[in-house]
């Protein structure tokens, strides 16, 4: 998979891509990350924002630098990208969306800043908008990192144990069941005996029951989706 990130702050991503699972994906040549500084494609002295028509607080990201960046990249490659705009107005990121995005060979993530995007970026680039929650951040860089992490870890071959992605929270709309490891007792807190019994069917039943219980207690809204 090729992932292009269009941003005003490309330096924010280098450390993220240099560690953990995202680094492993790059070292295995499963994912290629490319960073593009939108300022370098601005027509007027690297100016990327301006005051909004009709008034209002703050500055708005201009369309020309973003279009210029996208078109410059597209001239370098014949591949068609799935363009993603990081915005609070987008589809709420979910495990199912992340899973669908793994089917795309080429993602292009566009990170905004300031008070938002000129609307023509939305309407003129055929973008898929994604939000990571009902709150406002200073820019799209951190949401882009969240999307990339959620998608890349689901790509076959990135994680050593494929089952680790299928048994996680939200994979079947349930939260994950409680997990334990050694020691079997710590500060008076004991691991449930069934998990040490070796009885696989009883263990699966316990895990399913506790996944349902945990979801009912912490996220009952998920049962509406189920």
Instruction: Assess whether 52 and 94 both reside in one domain.
Output: yes
Strands 32-37 and 82-92: unpaired
Is position 158 within any domain?
Answer: no
> For position 35, what pLDDT does the model report?
98
CA-closest candidate to residue 150, choices 206, 109, 120: 109
202: left (phi over 0), alpha (psi -120 to 50) or beta: alpha
Count up the domains in the chain and report the number. Answer: 2
Instruction: Assess whether 119 and 27 both reside in one domain.
Output: yes
Q: Residue 109 in 3-state DSSP? A: strand
User: What confidence category does residue 59 fall into, taking pLDDT thresholds of 50, 70 and 90?
Assistant: very high
Per-residue b or e along 81-113, where b marks 16 or more CB atoms closer than 10 Å to that residue's CB: bbbbbbbbebeebebebbeebbebeebbbbbbb
For 91-149, write each residue's pLDDT tens digit: 999 999 999 999 999 999 999 988 889 999 999 999 999 999 999 899 999 999 999 99
> For position 40, what pLDDT does the model report?
95
State which residues form the domain around 21: 2-152
Write the CATH number for 179: 1.10.1270.20
pLDDT beyond 70 at 50 = yes
Distance CA 146, CA 92 (A): 12
Indicate the pTM of the whole model.
0.88
pLDDT beyond 80 at 29 = yes
For 62-73, write each residue's pLDDT tens digit: 999 999 999 999
Instruction: Assess whether 16 and 125 both reside in one domain.
Output: yes
Instruction: Assess whether 135 and 171 both reside in one domain.
Output: no
Instruction: Assess whether 116 and 6 both reside in one domain.
Output: yes
């Amino acid at each position: 998979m090729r992932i292009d990130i269009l941003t005003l702050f490309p330096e924010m991503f280098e450390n993220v891509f240099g560690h953990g699972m995202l680094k492993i994906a790059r070292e295995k040549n499963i994912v290629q990350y490319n960073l593009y500084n939108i300022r370098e494609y601005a027509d007027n002295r690297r100016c990327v924002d301006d005051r909004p028509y009709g008034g209002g607080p703050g500055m708005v990201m201009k369309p020309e630098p973003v279009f210029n960046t996208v078109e410059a990249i597209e001239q370098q490659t014949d591949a068609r990208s799935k363009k993603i705009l990081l915005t609070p107005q987008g589809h709420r990121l979910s495990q199912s969306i992340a899973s669908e995005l793994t089917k795309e060979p080429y993602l292009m993530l566009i990170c905004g800043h300031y008070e938002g995007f000129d609307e023509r970026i939305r309407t003129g680039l055929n973008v898929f908008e994604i939000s990571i929650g009902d709150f406002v951040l200073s820019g799209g860089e951190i949401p882009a990192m969240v999307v990339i992490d959620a998608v890349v870890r689901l790509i076959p071959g990135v994680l050593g144990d494929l089952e680790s992605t299928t048994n996680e929270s939200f994979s079947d709309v349930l939260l994950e069941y409680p997990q334990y490891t050694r020691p079997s007792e710590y500060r008076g807190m004991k691991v449930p005996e069934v998990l040490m019994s070796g009885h696989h069917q009883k263990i699966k039943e316990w895990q399913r029951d506790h996944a349902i219980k945990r979801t009912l207690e912490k996220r009952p809204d998920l049962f509406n989706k189920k």
